[in-house]
């Protein structure tokens, strides 16, 4: 994995934001001094071809792009794999069962600058995560496994990030702590807490991951910083979140 296109604050933290359009993406990226990974949701497009063309427009303004499912929608898993591997976009959000497939597609297409996360869900029990997050498996009996086993399975297929969704703000903070500690212990390079994160609570969430010793942390901050009237991500709120993260160092 070539990390040269990415910037992490103090080598540790980059924030995943959405943006209304390429110009807004550039504004958000600049407000974060480049320590950001801007997202493009596959679910917003009727075809993968349209998403790929829009992705090219974003990548003309920013160096990396995060291809998202859209609220963790497992039905978008193949679209994400296709879009990310067509662009070598930098980041692909994926459900647990499809993460290995996506890494394989990226490798087959010689994409050297894109890392894949795998979505696991909290269970209410620290140390256990749900990995049945795919389009079919989500409708079956939940597969609850030890977090260290889940991370080991991801590392076996070359996945380098675990996405913990839905955090519901601080609700699952204790569970996140165990996931972060397991990630550090097993050498999972990236952790991505997601769901209900705001400029007000992001520092507490990031601190848990920093204290656990995870190499890189990518919190996702979405709805709390989007202007409901314009649809643009508010750069003043972005800067507020950034300052809260800076205060941790």
The rounded distance, in Å, linking the Cα atoms of 85 and 102 is: 8
Cα separation, 248 vs 118, whole angstroms? 27
Q: Do 117 and 94 contact (CB within 8 A), yes or no?
A: yes
Helix spans in the chain (H): 22-31, 48-59, 77-87, 96-108, 147-156, 173-186, 202-212, 235-246
Provide, for the chain, the percentages of residues in helix, strand and coil under a 3-state DSSP scheme, each rounded to the nearest 5: 40, 20, 40
The total of other beta-carbon atoms located within 10 Å of residue 102's CB is 28
Q: Let me know how many helices (H) and strands (E) the chain has, helices first.
A: 8, 10
90 sits in the region (left: phi over 0; alpha: psi -120 to 50; else beta) called: left
d(CA 22, CA 152): 36
User: Which parts of the chain sit beneath pLDDT 50?
Assistant: none
Q: What angle do CA 66, 188, 35 make, to 5 degrees?
A: 40
To the nearest 10 degrees (0 to 180), the angle between helices 235-246 and 22-31 is: 30
To which CATH superfamily is domain 15-246 assigned? Aldolase class I (3.20.20.70)
Q: Which residues are registered as beta bridge partners of 120? A: 164
| Alpha-carbon gap, residue 150 to 129, rounded angstroms | 8
Domain ranges of the chain: 15-246
Can you say whether the dihedral through the CA atoms of 49, 40, 133, 71 is positive or negative? negative
Residue 106 has a pLDDT of 98
Kind of pairing between the strands at 128-130 and 115-122 = antiparallel
Report if pTM > 0.85: yes
């Amino acid at each position: 994995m070539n990390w040269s296109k990415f910037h992490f604050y103090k080598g540790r933290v980059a924030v995943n934001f959405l943006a209304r359009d390429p110009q807004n993406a550039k504004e958000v990226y600049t407000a974060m001094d480049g320590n950001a990974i801007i997202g493009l949701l596959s679910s917003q497009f009727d075809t993968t071809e349209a998403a790929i063309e829009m992705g090219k427009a974003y990548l003309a303004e920013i160096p990396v792009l995060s291809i998202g499912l859209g609220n963790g929608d497992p039905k978008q898993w193949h679209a994400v794999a296709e879009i990310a591997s067509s662009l070598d976009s930098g980041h692909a959000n994926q459900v647990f069962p499809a993460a290995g497939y996506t890494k394989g597609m990226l490798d087959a297409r010689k994409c050297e600058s894109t890392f894949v996360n795998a979505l696991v869900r909290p269970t209410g029990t620290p140390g256990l995560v749900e990995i049945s997050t795919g389009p079919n498996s989500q409708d079956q009996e939940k597969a609850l496994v030890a977090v260290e086993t889940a991370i080991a399975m991801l590392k076996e297929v070359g996945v380098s990030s675990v996405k913990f969704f839905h955090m519901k703000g601080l609700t699952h903070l204790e569970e996140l702590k165990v996931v972060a500690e397991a990630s550090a212990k097993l050498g999972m390079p990236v952790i991505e807490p997601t769901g209900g994160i705001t400029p007000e609570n992001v520092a507490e969430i990031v601190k848990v991951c920093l204290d656990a010793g995870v190499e890189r942390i990518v919190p996702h901050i979405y709805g709390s910083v989007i202007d409901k009237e314009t649809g643009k991500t508010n750069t003043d709120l972005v800067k507020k979140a950034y300052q809260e993260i800076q205060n941790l160092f």
